[in-house]
Structure formats: C-alpha cells, structure tokens
Amino acid sequence: MRTPPGISASDFADALARFASVVGKDWVFTSDEDLEPYRDAYSILWNEPDERIASAAVAPFNAEEVQAVMRIANEKRIPVYPISTGKNLGYGGAAPVLSGSVVLDLKRMNRIIEIDERNSCVLVEPGVTYFDLYRHIQDKGLNLWIDCPDPGWGSVIGNALDYGGGYTHSWYRNHFDAHCGMEVVLANGEVLRTGMGAMPNAKTWQQNKYGYGPFVDGLFKQSSLGVVTKMGFWLYPAPEVFISGVIGVPKKSDINKLVDIVNYLENTVAMRGMPVFACPFLPMGLPIPQPPGMPSADASVADQEAYAAANRIPYWTVAVSYYGGPEVVKAQWEYTKRKASGIAGATFTGGEVIAMPPKPDELKGMLSKSPFGIPALSIFSIGARSEHSDPTAGHITCSPIVPRTGEGITAAYELIQKTVTRLELPVTVLTPPIGCWARTFVILIMMAVTHDPERNKRTRTAFREMVKILADHGYGEYRTAPAFQDDVMATYSFNNHALKRFHETVKDAIDPNGIISAGRYGVWPRHLREKKS
C-alpha cells in the first residue's frame, strides 16, 4: 500500500480505519483499481516517477463527515486533497498535487439544498454537477438558466473554485464571481460560513455576498485553506429571446476599433452575451482544413487582406449575442450595428430573434449548447478525431490572460507564434482570443500530451520556458496543471514574491499542520517548504 510522505504504514492504516468508521468502509478506497479514477487522465507525467498519485481516497456523505475526517487527518498529519468531481481535465483532474495525499472525494455530497426562483439563486453541495442542476431546474419547471462550461460534466462548485468560465450572460459567465456565500470546513474540522451565512438563521445568505467585515471568500478560490462543503450561486432568470449577429471587418488593423466597440457595448450593458472573435489568418488556428490558395499566417498582411477581399470574407469577425426581451435585444442589435458601422467596410449578418428556450430542431447540429445554459459532452467528439494528437493521452493548456484591446491581441499572438516556433511546442490548438470574462481575453494554447516520457519531458521544459517568456511580457496564467503550478506562482513575483509569502503566512496560520491540498497553485505548507529548501 502506498503511504503519504512521512507517514508510517501503521499510522496510515490506523487513519484509514478511523476514516472508515466515519464514512463506512465502502467509501474508503485503497486498491489500484479503486484509485484509478484519481489519476489525472491528462497527466504530462503519466507513468513517470513524479506522476501525482493518491495513496487512498475517502468519500464522505455530508459536511459532518467531512469535519470528522478532517479532525482525524489533522491529528494524524495525513495530507488530504479535496475534489468535487475531479473533472478539470488538463488542470490536474482528480489527482493530488502532492503524491501520497488522500483524495477527499466529495461526489456523494450532491444535494441541491435550496433553489429560489424569485431571487434566482441556489445553494449546492460540491458533488452537484451542471447536469444535476440543469435536470433539477427542468424537473421543477423553474424559469431559470444555469451557466455551464463545456463540457458540462463537472461540479458547479469545483468549476467556480478553479476559476472556470461559461458562455451565457456576462454576469454569470465568471463562475466564481457568480457565487454568493460559502460553507467551509477548516483543517481542524471547524466549519465556517461566509457572507450573510455567518449569521445563524440568515435569511439572505445567497442574496448578499459580503455580509459584515472583511470579505474572505477569495481565500478559498484555487486554495488550500479549507474544504468548501456548500456554496451559493446566482442563476440567470430565463431570458425570453436570444439574438446572435456577426460583425465583420476587412482589415487586420480594424481589430483595434472592433474590440473597443465590443468593450463599450459590454461595459455599458448594451451587449451581455459572450463575444466570440475569429480570424482565418491567426497563426496555428483551430485545426480546420483551409481552402486552397488561402494565405498562411506567415503571409504578408497585404496578401491576407487581398485574399479576404477577393473572397468576400472578413479579416476579423466577432459574433455578438443578446439575451432578454424582444424589444430590448432588437434595439441592442440595432445599436451595435450603428456603433460598428463607423469601421469602413464593416458587414453585419444574422440578428434573427430566437424564442427561448430553443426548440430541439434549433439545437440540432449545434456542437455546443452552452450559450443556452444546456450542459453537454459533445466537445469530446471533436478531440477524439484529431489527427494532430493522441486522444488517449490528452492535453495541457497554457492559458495567458491578455488585454482586451486589438493591440493587445496582436502583440500577444506575435509573441506566442514566435515562442511556440522557437521552443517547438507541440501545439494542437491555439484559440482565438476568448472573451468569457469581462475586461480581459484569455488565449488557450493547447499542447498534446503523449505516452512517451521523453516527448513529455521535452514538452514540460518548453512549457516552463513559455510561461516565463509570457510573464516577462506581462501575460499571466490563470490556472495550470499541477506539474507547472510552482512555475506559474513564481511568475507572480512582484516585490520579492510578496503575494506568495502572504499566501504562505495565511496557510501556516489557518492550516498549521499543512494537511489540505499541499502545493496547490504553488502554495506549500511550512514543513514541506523547509524540506524543499
């Protein structure tokens, strides 16, 4: 049996027996077969000595069992790694950052505790998936939408805590921002509630985020300070109609004005759907076959623009979308066209009003139903057909946050293209700038993982170099796979790593034995920092 680092086999056996007395022996897993789900299916360290492997897994049924497990773990100094459903593939999955940790699997805690249609909010446990919440709303006939990522099989809480994003209205696309109130079990087993929930019998826990005093919820995002056992979310009151239109512009430099206009529309609440930018000449774009004769990303801008003009395709497009009442969204689309018509040669297509919820025939053929808050797994039917990578090995993603300006996009892609080429990174997908969060873009640079340790080693080396180069130019990662979490944290180095030192101070105070999620997002407990140094 594998044991946690620094824990004797007999102490570990004793801890497991005590865990079993809390959760039941059927919910303590130690065999290789039972621990297989807790391997990271996309690990860049697959089958290598450094692959992050759990020593055991424990699946409590409720917050009280979580408290009991944490008290035992704290007493015995057993490292635990809480997961909700462990579906953040590419960012670690269900595997712990510290090998030998006991995965605290919260999937059995899948209760939707309270849902309030009038105030459009919900209180859930960590095991509730987007499918669960969607089903609950449908079954109850509630006039509410969820905002889900793609794929939608993960945990509502887990995705929010890992800073995930969605595709509907901008107030709900940032899943952490859309939360309201938490219940957290600390390392010593104590339970706390944040916001209004700190008041016994609070009547507004899911309506008011801030309560009284310092706002601490952010300490539990991408965190190792506690086990979130309940979390509230604001839901989207179902809109009456949806409009999507596409703005096209003919020149590369038009992106500067186009982004500014979209930002203005978003920030004045005239357009709240997710803007989707695209350009056929982006370097290493999505692996879609290009028409013969189309200039490559390396061709001159003049050649690219001439090709676009000759073939009557825009150089850049942005799909904009609107949710709400028909009178409102029609006016918003007209307003958008007026604002963008200042760009010479701008074209406008679409704008049909679709009543919500969409009818089955309207959904048919759509690869993603996420813009309508409908969870799906269809995205896996793309990757599996890729000729560019082995679908059985997965991918890792470099995810820099870049400015929401046309100039910012241009500079970022030039740097990325140059760096990827020089480092020979095995990029399979480089996305257009993604506007799921207000005020910034994120660009996803997806790289193939293989089952060849030597190739993976080269990729890791190049990935780390890429992270440093991006950081040198001011582009930070918003999350990353466990193999690179220390590297990314090292780039947030202002004032001699003041932020990291603050995290460590808080970690040592809240979790003095360092038992929760050691190393997660580059924050290590004192005893392991001393060991590393």
Partner 1 sequence: MRSTPGIWDRRDVIMAGGAAVGGIAMSQDVTSAWAATPKRNYLLVADTRIAASRDFAVEAMPNSERVAWIEGDITKLWYEELDTRWYDEKIAVAGLTEYGPFFCLERLAMDRGLRVAFKGSHRRDGSQLLHLIDGPKDVVTEQALNALSDQYWPAQAARMAIASRTAASMTSRLYKSSSAASEQWPLLVSWMIMPKRANGIRA
Residues annotated as catalytic are 91, 478-479
DSSP character at residue 165: B
Toward partner 1, which CB reaches closer, 41 or 228? Answer: 41
Question: Of 113-121, 189-197, 288-296, 385-393, which part binds partner 1 (CB under 8 A)?
Answer: 385-393
Question: Of 201-209, 377-385, 445-453, 468-476, which part binds partner 1 (CB under 8 A)?
Answer: 377-385
Question: What CA–CA distance (Å, rounded) separates 533 from 518?
Answer: 15
Toward partner 1, which CB reaches closer, 86 or 324? Answer: 86
Q: What share of the chain is helix, strand, coil (3-state, %, to 5)?
A: 35, 20, 45
Evaluated on CA atoms 127, 132, 133, 136, the torsion sign reads negative
Residue in 488, 466, 461 with CA at minimum distance from that of residue 418: 466
Question: Of 112-120, 294-302, 371-379, 490-498, which part binds partner 1 (CB under 8 A)?
Answer: 371-379
Shortest distance, position 135 Cβ to partner 1, whole Å: 7
Question: Of 167-175, 210-218, 237-245, 369-377, which part binds partner 1 (CB under 8 A)?
Answer: 369-377
C-alpha pair distances (Å), 151 with each of 135, 148, 183, 387: 16, 8, 26, 21
Shortest distance, position 36 Cβ to partner 1, whole Å: 7
Toward partner 1, which CB reaches closer, 299 or 377? Answer: 377
Q: Tell how strand 80-83 and strand 427-430 pair up.
A: unpaired
C-alpha pair distances (Å), 184 with each of 127, 212, 240, 321: 15, 17, 36, 37
Long-range CB contacts (< 8 A, 24+ apart) of 383-392? 386/287, 386/428, 387/287, 388/287, 388/428, 388/448, 389/426, 389/428, 389/448, 389/449, 389/450, 390/448, 390/450, 390/451, 392/451
Backbone conformation region of residue 395, classed left if phi is above 0, alpha if psi is from -120 to 50, else beta: beta
Question: Of 117-125, 261-269, 380-388, 403-411, which part binds partner 1 (CB under 8 A)?
Answer: 380-388
Toward partner 1, which CB reaches closer, 126 or 525? Answer: 126
- For residue 135, state whether it binds partner 1 (rule: CB under 8 A): yes
- For residue 363, state whether it binds partner 1 (rule: CB under 8 A): no
- For residue 392, state whether it binds partner 1 (rule: CB under 8 A): yes
Which residues ranging from 185 to 204 are in contact with partner 1 (CB under 8 A)? none
Residue in 174, 191, 190 with CA at minimum distance from that of residue 182: 191
Residue whose token pair is 């805690």? 109
Shortest distance, position 3 Cβ to partner 1, whole Å: 23
- For residue 133, state whether it binds partner 1 (rule: CB under 8 A): no
Q: Which of 91, 131, 220, 333 is in the footprint of partner 1 by CB under 8 A?
A: 131
Toward partner 1, which CB reaches closer, 87 or 500? Answer: 87
- For residue 139, state whether it binds partner 1 (rule: CB under 8 A): no
Which residues ranging from 8 to 37 are in contact with partner 1 (CB under 8 A)? 33-34, 36-37
Toward partner 1, which CB reaches closer, 135 or 140? Answer: 135
Distance from chain centroid for Cα 446: 14
> Whole-angstrom distance between the N-terminal and C-terminal Cα of the chain?
28
- For residue 385, state whether it binds partner 1 (rule: CB under 8 A): yes
- For residue 382, state whether it binds partner 1 (rule: CB under 8 A): yes
Other beta carbons within 10 angstroms of residue 292's beta carbon come to 5
185 in Cβ contact with 229 (< 8 Å): yes
Shortest distance, position 226 Cβ to partner 1, whole Å: 24
Shortest distance, position 352 Cβ to partner 1, whole Å: 24
Q: Which of 212, 215, 380, 502 is in the footprint of partner 1 by CB under 8 A?
A: 380
Q: Which of 5, 218, 350, 391 is in the footprint of partner 1 by CB under 8 A?
A: 391
C-alpha pair distances (Å), 91 with each of 149, 315, 444, 468, 482: 14, 33, 13, 18, 7
- Cβ neighbors of 364 (< 8 A, separation 6 or more) are none
- For residue 357, state whether it binds partner 1 (rule: CB under 8 A): no
- For residue 157, state whether it binds partner 1 (rule: CB under 8 A): no
Toward partner 1, which CB reaches closer, 90 or 525? Answer: 90
Residues of the shown chain interacting with partner 1 in the complex, contacts defined by CB under 8 A: 33-34, 36-37, 41, 85, 87, 107, 131, 135, 151, 153, 364, 375-378, 380-385, 387, 391-392
